Amino acid sequence: MDFFRKQSHSYKNWVTIAQRVAEVGFCSTTVFCSIFIFLTIFGVKRNFGSYKYLLILFPAVGIFFATVELILYPNVHSFNAGYFYYSTRRPFGVGIEIVTVLMAFYTSIYASTICMLAVQFVYRYWAIFDETKLRFFKGWKFLFCVAYSVIVGAQWGLSMYFFNQMDDYSDHYMRDELLYRYDLNITEIARLCLVSYNADGSLRWRNISATIDMNIFMIVQYSIVIYCAVVMYHKMEEKLKMLSVSLRKLHKQFYKTLILQIFTPTLCLFSPVVFIIYLPLFDLKVSIPTGMFLCAFTLYPALDAMIVMYIVTDYRKAAKQMLKKVLDWIDEILRLNELPVDGPTNAPTKETALGSKVWA
């Protein structure tokens, strides 16, 4: 388990790589999610009902999530029985305490994202098995879905902020490691820290409370996703027989989308966080730049948008039509630029010709 400790002592290169990936994630998320939102509002002709609001809200939050990451460049380092969550940035010249609050807010957006994913699965489940419950997504009641995501996100962020505050023990535990690996003085950066055990081996319950809190909410959301997916897999075919061919095809396409939306967030959203928050409990003698896993967060919204646009026929058709219009517009501009520009001619005008006759 001393593999990482035997490597080059500096992890600055990993930080640079993570930042470059975050920048790529921001650009790809901004582009693909913006296209997806545009197609949902203006391109797709089919009426998706209240599901349209979820289709717009999810990528919009994804763009916001990627933007916050680009501003903060948060990083995580796992060391033995703890992890150190920090940012060296001072956006807009704010102080360390404000940056620390923004770091907690960043984790809130993450939690809200996985909540909205669970809400999408619930909608698709009810759309197939109990359409009467879709009333909870209509009109002002849709705000309940938003409120649920916001409340869970706020709970996560507050837990991260209050339970993982630095104290003398965590400060001493991480100080030399951060100086050695990143050449950082931890008193000069915004930071939050978890150390699972005291020097005598007893649990540090305040820090452990953050792990318990995050674990509960993550299990709840992931259980909702898995339950809805499994039930739809086993019972969807029978229910879809009662629908029209076009609706049957649409539900199947969205189901395929949701299945891919299980594997993609599992790899990009759930797995990195599970690894980071559980690793300290084993108190292994490791030193890992786990911040490199966070850069996967900004890639997920782009991947999610591409999955929907590729699988759902309505989006493919709308995307092709939009691309054709763009290409036609570019072609028209190029044709105009290629037209010859007529210079001044010496041909007499009507007025000149008349004048010549008079003087003659």
Is 340 a domain residue? no
Is 247 a domain residue? yes
CA 281-286-289 angle, to 5 degrees, is 100
What's the pLDDT score for residue 50?
Answer: 85
Distances (CA, A) of 331 to 201, 285, 337: 71, 62, 10
| Residue 264 structure tokens | 């993609």
Taking the model in full, what pTM does it have?
A: 0.85
CATH code: domain of residue 199: 1.20.1070.10
How many structural domains is the chain composed of?
A: 1
Is 154 a domain residue? yes
What's the pLDDT score for residue 344?
Answer: 53
Is 358 a domain residue? no
Is 355 a domain residue? no
DSSP string spanning 121-161?
HHHHHHHHH-GGGGGGGSGGGHHHHHHHHHHHHHHHHHHHH
What's the pLDDT score for residue 340?
Answer: 64
Residues of the chain with pLDDT under 50: 1-6, 350-360
What's the pLDDT score for residue 336?
Answer: 79
Is 345 a domain residue? no
Q: Which domain holds residue 261?
A: 11-324
Residue 58: count of CB within 10 angstroms of its CB: 23
Is 339 a domain residue? no
Give pairs for 268-271: CB < 8 Å, separation 24+: 268/296, 268/297, 268/299, 268/300, 268/303, 269/110, 269/113, 269/114, 269/296, 269/297, 269/300, 270/114, 270/218, 270/222
Is 253 a domain residue? yes
CA atoms of 342 and 329, how far apart (whole Å): 24
What's the pLDDT score for residue 241?
Answer: 63
What's the pLDDT score for residue 15?
Answer: 93
What's the pLDDT score for residue 343?
Answer: 52
